[in-house]
Amino acid sequence: MIGDLFVTGMVVPDIQQAIEDTQKSLDLEFTPVQQSPLRMRTPQGIEEFDLRFVYSLGTAPHLELIEGIPGGYYDARGGYIRHVGLWVDDLAAASEELTRRGMPLEAAGMDGDREPHAFVFHAHPWGLRVELVDRVQQDYFETWLGGGELQI
């Protein structure tokens, strides 16, 4: 495997309802809802928006619920499993390796004009999508999932 599996992300139309339903049906607990400004390059161009999401608590792999954004990269379309996420030590190299393996780059996080930054998404046309996340963020996420503040 190119990295360590830590999350399955699901885009949902209503994050509060999804949290309540998932808590009830799967007995999972979640972090507080986070809202983070995001800038990323997608097939349609650069998108900038506030992403709202939660992670399940406990051991990995986690379930991430992402609030859909109509008309954008995170459009909910009724809710669906969106991606699996992997921690990687070298984001650019792992991204290049997935491209070589026939999984084209779909979107990349940006910091100003620098990309890729923090994460990338690769996808097959038939639906498998993989998010590679720079391992330098792993401590931040684990601190957050342990009850601390998310600082990314």
What CATH number does the domain containing 30 carry? 3.10.180.10
Predicted local distance difference test score (pLDDT) of residue 15? 93
Tell me whether residue 123 is in a domain.
no
Residue 152: pLDDT above 70? Answer: no
Predicted local distance difference test score (pLDDT) of residue 126? 59
Spell out the residues 6+ positions from residue 81 whose beta carbon is closer than 8 angstroms to its own. 8, 9, 10
Total domains in the chain come to: 1
Q: What is the pLDDT of residues 91-139, one digit of tens each?
A: 999 999 989 888 899 999 999 999 999 999 998 775 678 899 999 999 9
Q: What is the pLDDT of residues 40-95, one digit of tens each?
A: 999 889 999 999 999 999 989 999 999 999 999 999 877 778 888 999 999 999 99
Tell me whether residue 72 is in a domain.
yes
- In angstroms, rounded to a whole number, what is the distance separating the alpha carbons of residues 69 and 126? 22
Tell me whether residue 149 is in a domain.
no
pTM: 0.73
Spell out the residues 6+ positions from residue 1 whose beta carbon is closer than 8 angstroms to its own. 86
Q: Residue type at 98?
A: L
Q: What is the pLDDT of residues 9-23, one digit of tens each?
A: 999 889 999 999 888
Q: Under a CB-based contact definition with an 8 Å cutoff, are residues 65 and 12 in contact? A: yes
Tell me whether residue 137 is in a domain.
no
Tell me whether residue 77 is in a domain.
yes
Tell which residue, 60, 59, 61, 64, has the closest CA to residue 51: 64
Domain containing residue 38: 1-102
Tell me whether residue 127 is in a domain.
no
Q: Are strands 119-123 and 105-109 parallel, antiparallel or unpaired?
A: antiparallel
Q: Residue type at 106?
A: E
Stated length of the chain: 152
